[in-house]
Chain A
Amino acid sequence: MSETNGNSKSKLHGLWALTNRELKKWYKEPVLFFLSMIQPILWMGLLGKSMNIGALIPTNIPGIDSKTIMEQTFGTSDYFSFMAVGMIGMTALFTTMFSGMSIVWDRRLGFLNKVLSTPVSRAVIIFSKILSAALRSMFQAGIIIIIAVAFGLQFGANFNPLNILGIFAIMFLLCVGLSSLFIALTLRSTRMETPMAIMNLINLPMMFASNAFYPAKLMPDWLQTVVNVNPLSYTNDAVRQLLIVNTVDYAQLALDFTYVGIFAAIVATIGIVLSWRYLTK
Chain B
Amino acid sequence: MRVRKQTSNEREVKNVNVIEANDLTKRFGKLVAVDHVSFSIEEGEIFGFLGPNGAGKTTTINMLITILKPTEGKASVLGFDITKQDNNVRNVIGVVPQEYTADEDLTGLENVLLCADLYGIPRDVAKERAMDLLKFVELTDFKDKKVQTYSGGMRRRLELACGLINRPKVLFLDEPTLGLDVQTRAATWDYIRKLKKEFGMTLFMTTHYLEEADALCDRVAIIDHGKIIVIGSPGELKHNLGGDLITLTIKENDDVSGLIQKVEHVKEVRKEDGAYRVKAEFGEITTPFIIEALRKKGYTVTRLSLTEPTLNEVYLEYTGRSIRDAEESRESFAAQRMMRRRPR
Contact = CB atoms under 8 A, between A and B. Distances in A.
Given A3-B119, A25-B105, A113 B67 contact: yes
Contacts of B98: 110
Interface size class of A (residues with CB under 8 A): 20 to 34
A117 B93 contact: yes
B117 A16 contact: yes
Given A109-B101, A114-B97, A17 B68 contact: no
Nearest to A28: B105
A14 B101 CA distance: 17
7 contacts: A3-B91, A6-B120, A21-B114, A24-B106, A115-B118, A116-B67, A119-B90
A67 interface: no
A120 B116 CA distance: 11
Question: Which of A21, A105, A115 has the largest count of B CB atoms less than 10 A from its CB?
Answer: A21
Interface string B89-116: 0111101011111010110001000110
A108 interface: yes
Given A111-B103, A114-B95, A13 B117 contact: yes
Contact of B103 (A3, A14, A21, A118): A21
B62 interface: yes
A10 interface: yes
Interface range, B side: 35 or more
Interface of A: 1, 3-4, 6, 9-11, 13-14, 16-18, 21, 24-25, 28-29, 105, 108-111, 113-120, 280-281
Interface of B is mostly: loop
B341 interface: yes
Determine which residue in A1, A14, A29 has the highest number of CB atoms from chain B within 10 A of its CB, and name it: A1
A110 B93 contact: no
B120 A117 contact: no
A53 to B, nearest CB: 40
Overall SS of chain A's interface = helix
B166 interface: yes
B109 to A, nearest CB: 13
A16 B116 CA distance: 12
Return the 5 tightest CB-CB contacts between A and B, nearest first.
A10-B120, A110-B99, A17-B117, A118-B118, A117-B65
Nearest to B163: A114
Interface string B312-340: 00000000000000000000000000001
